[in-house]
């Protein structure tokens, strides 16, 4: 079970959690949004003219919600920056 420590908004204390398997950057940002009680925002994909909604780029989600800088370590690995 990987152990994660995630820093965002320049917080001194990380958000710490474990997962069953390795998480993608999107899933890690999802954990932050869940912790902060922020609902992900969907935007219409008007560029391709499709009817459905798509997730905004991860960097845009981080920026819109004032989460930067987002960085994490997994099982005491090297620091990884998202976005």
Strands 15-18 and 3-7: antiparallel
In the prediction, which pLDDT does 42 show?
46
Contacts for 32-36 with beta carbons within 8 Å, 24 or more apart?
Answer: 32/6, 32/8, 32/67, 32/70, 33/61, 33/65, 36/65, 36/67
More confident residue, 47 or 44: 47
Tokens of 63: 């920026």
Hey, is 16 helix, strand or coil?
Answer: strand
Q: Which of 21-25, 29-33, 38-42 has the lowest mean pLDDT?
A: 38-42
More confident residue, 34 or 54: 34
Over residues 55-74, the pLDDT tens digits come to 678 999 999 999 999 999 99
């Amino acid at each position: 079970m990987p152990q994660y420590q995630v820093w965002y908004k320049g917080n001194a204390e990380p958000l710490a959690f474990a997962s069953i398997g390795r998480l993608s950057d999107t899933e890690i940002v999802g954990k932050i949004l869940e912790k902060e009680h922020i609902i992900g925002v969907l935007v219409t994909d008007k560029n391709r003219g499709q009817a459905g909604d798509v997730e905004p780029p991860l960097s845009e989600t981080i920026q819109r919600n004032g989460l930067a800088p987002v960085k994490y370590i997994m099982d005491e690995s090297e620091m990884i920056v998202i976005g």
